[in-house]
Chain A
Amino acid sequence: MTAHLTETAQQRDRARTIFEKSRPGRRAFVAPELDVPQQEGLLPDRFRRTEPARLPEIAEPEIVRHYNRISKRNFDVDTGFYPLGSCTMKHNPKLHERVAALPGNARLHPLQHPRRAQGALRLMWELQRALAEVAGLPHVSLQPSAGSHGELAGVLLTRAYHEDRGERRTKVLTPDTAHGTNPATVTMGGYELVKLGTSDRGDVDVDDLRAKVGEDVACLMLTNPNTLGLFDPNIEEIARIVHDAGATLYYDGANLNAVMGRTRPGDMGFDIVHYNLHKTFTQPHGGGGPGAGPIAVSERIEPFLPRPQVVRRESGNGAGPAFDLDFDRPKSIGRLRSFQGNYGVFVRSYAYILSLGSDGLQEASETAVLNANYLMARIAETAGEHVPPAFERTCMHEFVLSGGPMKRALGIRTLDLAKRLLDYGFHPPTVYFPLLVDEALLIEPTETETRETLDAFAEVIGEIVTEAAEDPDAARNAPYTTPVRRLDEAGAAKRPVVRQPL
């Protein structure tokens, strides 16, 4: 593969940080003039910094050029297919950025008096109503900042609910297929984790659930469809077992994009749900946030919701309703974060809900499921022998392949396939998750993608395994065309360099 060894222009452009581009005396900022009489000694010397922070000294053109150049070392969903399972990388409509940036949103102080923040509070209230309808649960708090923050809220709500009833329960159940955030949240919530097995069909092992549920179990955390992309048809029975034991049922909403308009967590029997607004409701992910993780709950959990809550109060004097922040919630678990939540995210997600509406949200889920099943079928044609589905079933919005046969027959691993995809201009799927599938590839195409894109991706998977049959090193050494090639992650962790030495 000698062609691969030619260094690209981007590879020749070695990474230099903005600190390394700093030169003494250069600057961008022009300070406003000191327009008040100067006073001496306002800050005693013992409080005063002696050396300025060694920030870059650099002019505006160089800052702009620096970040524009490094931006080009990223792959993004505006540029190409990003089938990262569990992450729902759908299109981010550009209108959303425009409305979020309106001064009435972008320059609204979070402690502005509610009387002068009526538009924002109304938007939040309407978003709460819309999310409640989608999830089939009556009460929503927008406060949590991301999915895992919503999970923490859910576990703390569960704790508050049981304690209010005078019960001390110590365990939380999660399936072995759960997102890593679920067990991590269980620990942060002060509970002991108990893992549930998965059946041969990829569902919750209901016998294992029956064996492990009991009076010491506070909650079962579940996502449905699960991380295998499979809808658990036993969900009603699971809910019955959990509720009969007096536990709550928590819905990890990371996979909500599969079921909008078809079924609702509330109707399945869930008590608490979190939404990932940065997944299902298309807040751009920003390379690792911001997102938002609102929660919806049933009546029995409502008294414990975080405060403040956005509420609508009828005026009673003929004027329209007024929106307010309700702090008077004596059973509330309290605040999870500063202020009212990631409001800028709420604006974007509400714009999405208004744009799609009732039929559009349902169509989004249906198309996501159609695309996933289509892509699964197409890859079965192009590479089915080497990367077969982990479960031969209709999938929902995502599906899992096993690279095990490929590894055994061709000597390339799922990681190699993923890295080779980069040379073809595709972002790889999620790899090595869920853990119970050998050499897993978790693929989520979303409703955004055209049939042509899905066909092209399936063809490339086929090409890569065909290539590997002749020359496995081609994939083992991939990628070749990216700004950098495989990186030494073990070395980075062994001797961590986590800041620029100055």
Chain B
Amino acid sequence: MLAAIGAESIDALFSDVPEGVRLGRAIDLPPGKPEQEVYEYLRDLAAMNVSTEDEVSFVGAGMYDHYVPALIDSILARSEFLTPYTPYQPEVSQGTLQLMFEYQTAISELTGLPVSNATLYEAASAVASAGWLAHQHNRRGRFVVSRGLHPHSREALATTGAGWNTEIDEIPLADGVTDASALEQALSDDVSAVFLQYPNFLGAVEDLEALVAPAKEAGAIVVVQCDAIALGILRTPGDFDVDIAVGEGQPLGNRLDYGGPSFGFFAAKQDYIRRMPGRIAGETTDVDGRRGFVLTLQTREQHIRREKATHNITTAQTLNALAGVIYLSWLGRQGLVELGELLLQRTAYARDALAAVEGVEPLHSQPVVREFAVALDADVDAVIERCAADGVNPGYPLARDYPDLENGLLVAITEQRTKADIDRLATTLQAAVREAVPA
């Protein structure tokens, strides 16, 4: 091969690399290993983790231990979905383009908004991307953000907004939901967008009707981070005149994977279709009149518009969107409702069961769908450690994100947590709270 090139050696191929920057030694890493040794090493590392298979976990806070049906593993493992690049050549990418189109349809149905893209990375960066869209759209300088918005989303919005000097005002919660009068006071004609979560981080169903109207009146874009599973039984953001709905796709058929890869969904009103971030698949026909799908509205994107693009994203989370659309098809029209109703009932049962434990108080009285917050009359970390010893993970401690809720615990229910599991949680928590040093 070197002869065909006309080069004397491999070294000659690297002659443009100046002496001064050549590494001149081997990379300081161990030598390569046979496949079985790599497997053993990584298996042993994985075994050091306590997964939701090893304990009864009530941790949610944005990612949930839903059952992932086996057909998803089977379909995602297909080389034809797993190993192509982004569909730049539509004639040989119809599988990917069609799944994107189906995914967009499903997300549009869930959110009640007509335009969905074909994924962003995950929820928090999707919220930040909605902020960027709003800023591009109205050039206003301030975001008003509910403290019920996921703390990761709030932080990602601030991180990204630093690039364009955005000011952020946080609106406090009152009895677990966004304080409507504080929101109204914060609104003015310099507010670019208002950010809410539905249900919010503490599990409470926000009254979107009451919150959206004043925001719209002030001319702000309303962005709502939604729980895709809860949208099976909740009125849609579209019903409430919300401009942009975003959210975490993990609950839709994606594994926990210690936080990713999953996907962020992003749906909007028709008005924003030419400002959307990310890939969008559209329907069209080929030269012979056959139905087909293409990446469309590409003049929004970085590879065409460069510095005038609506966003810099290219690689997103298409394979995870495939898991999402398979999951929603597997649940189906009735199944998503049945799942939502089951979570509603079990979550209410769990909230009642924990409220009956001495030293445990609900943090709010709002309606909840799949998650709720309680305050413990004990040191939360000590309680969690005590429960862990009994094989129960009682929830996510709120103190890091809400210093004012120092002994708060966020408890999530999925269809994999049965009544027996919930009863066990109540018993374990009771013992743990009793033993833990009072805070």
Contacts and interface: CB of A to CB of B under 8 A. Distances in A.
A343 B259 contact: yes
A236 B232 contact: no
Contacts of B281: 498
Given A123-B42, A357-B32, A18 B81 contact: no
A101 to B, nearest CB: 8
Interface in B116-163: 116, 118-119, 121-125, 128, 132, 150, 152-153, 155-156, 158-160, 162-163
Contacts of A289: 86, 119, 121, 261, 315-320
Interface string B267-280: 00000010000011
A193 B306 CA distance: 10
Nearest to A98: B39
Interface in A237-276: 259-264, 267-269, 276
B47 A119 contact: yes
A78 B79 contact: yes
Nearest to A113: B384
A107 B255 contact: yes
Contact of B27 (A49, A101, A358): A358
Given A29-B335, A496-B297, A155 B163 contact: yes
B260 A342 contact: yes
B106 interface: yes
A117 interface: yes
Given A104-B51, A119-B46, A451-B1, A184 B85 contact: no
B122 to A, nearest CB: 5
A111 to B, nearest CB: 5
A188 B132 contact: yes
B49 A52 contact: no
A364 B212 CA distance: 55
A95 to B, nearest CB: 5
A415 B363 CA distance: 62
A404 interface: no
Among A98, A327, A336, the one with the most B-chain Cβ atoms within 10 Å of its Cβ is: A336
A454 B273 CA distance: 42
A376 B71 CA distance: 43
A231 to B, nearest CB: 4
B105 A17 contact: yes
Given A35-B419, A109-B65, A190-B164, A487 B256 contact: no
Contacts of A56: 328-329, 332-333
B89 A47 contact: no
Contacts, number: 694
Contact of A422 (B44, B59, B89, B101): B89
B159 A334 contact: yes
Among A117, A419, A485, the one with the most B-chain Cβ atoms within 10 Å of its Cβ is: A485
Nearest to A373: B5
B184 interface: no
A116 B16 contact: no
A108 B159 contact: no
Contact of B296 (A118, A350, A369, A489): A489
Among A87, A122, A287, A333, the one with the most B-chain Cβ atoms within 10 Å of its Cβ is: A287
A388 interface: no
A46 interface: yes
A338 B124 contact: yes
A296 interface: no
Contact of B102 (A233, A477, A500): A500
Interface in B332-353: 332-339, 341-342, 344-346, 348-349
A15 B94 contact: yes
Interface stretch (A61-69, A204-212, A311-319, A467-475): A61-69
Contact of A487 (B48, B90, B98): B90
A52 B232 contact: yes
A480 B298 CA distance: 25
Interface in B11-50: 12-18, 20-23, 26-33, 35, 38-39, 41-50
B282 A496 contact: yes
Nearest to B388: A116
Interface in A80-114: 82, 84, 87, 89, 92-93, 95, 97-113
B367 interface: yes
Contacts of A26: 332
Interface string A117-130: 11110110000001
A101 B255 CA distance: 9
B82 A484 contact: no
B127 to A, nearest CB: 9
Nearest to B93: A74
Interface residues of B, number: 200
Contacts of B116: 498-499
A462 to B, nearest CB: 15
A55 interface: yes
A151 interface: yes
A253 to B, nearest CB: 13
Contact of B16 (A230, A286, A370): A230
Nearest to A267: B21
Interface in B70-84: 71, 73-75, 77-84
Contacts of A414: none
A428 B91 CA distance: 11
A427 B369 CA distance: 47
Nearest to A54: B109
A339 B248 CA distance: 11
Given A289-B317, A338-B124, A133 B28 contact: yes
B81 A53 contact: no
A2 interface: no
B307 A183 contact: yes
Nearest to A433: B303
B219 interface: no
B104 interface: yes
Contact of A340 (B23, B26, B259, B308): B259
Nearest to A72: B80
A26 B330 CA distance: 10
Among B116, B121, B308, B420, the one with the most A-chain Cβ atoms within 10 Å of its Cβ is: B121
B95 A110 contact: no
B205 A43 contact: yes
Nearest to A283: B261
Contact of A290 (B1, B163, B261): B261
A53 B245 CA distance: 15
Interface in A329-362: 333-345, 347, 350-351, 353-362
A230 B160 CA distance: 33
Nearest to B156: A335
A152 interface: yes
A499 B114 contact: yes
Contacts of A64: 71, 74-75
Contacts of A337: 121-122, 124-125, 152, 156, 260
Nearest to B14: A262
Contacts of B231: 49, 53
11 contacts: A32-B342, A35-B346, A36-B422, A103-B46, A148-B315, A156-B163, A288-B315, A288-B319, A289-B261, A340-B259, A342-B257
- Counting from the closest, the 6 A-B pairs by CB-CB distance are A286-B319, A339-B259, A104-B46, A110-B259, A119-B48, A357-B32
Given A74-B94, A370-B1, 8 more contacts: A17-B101, A46-B235, A103-B46, A190-B163, A288-B87, A342-B257, A493-B282, A498-B281
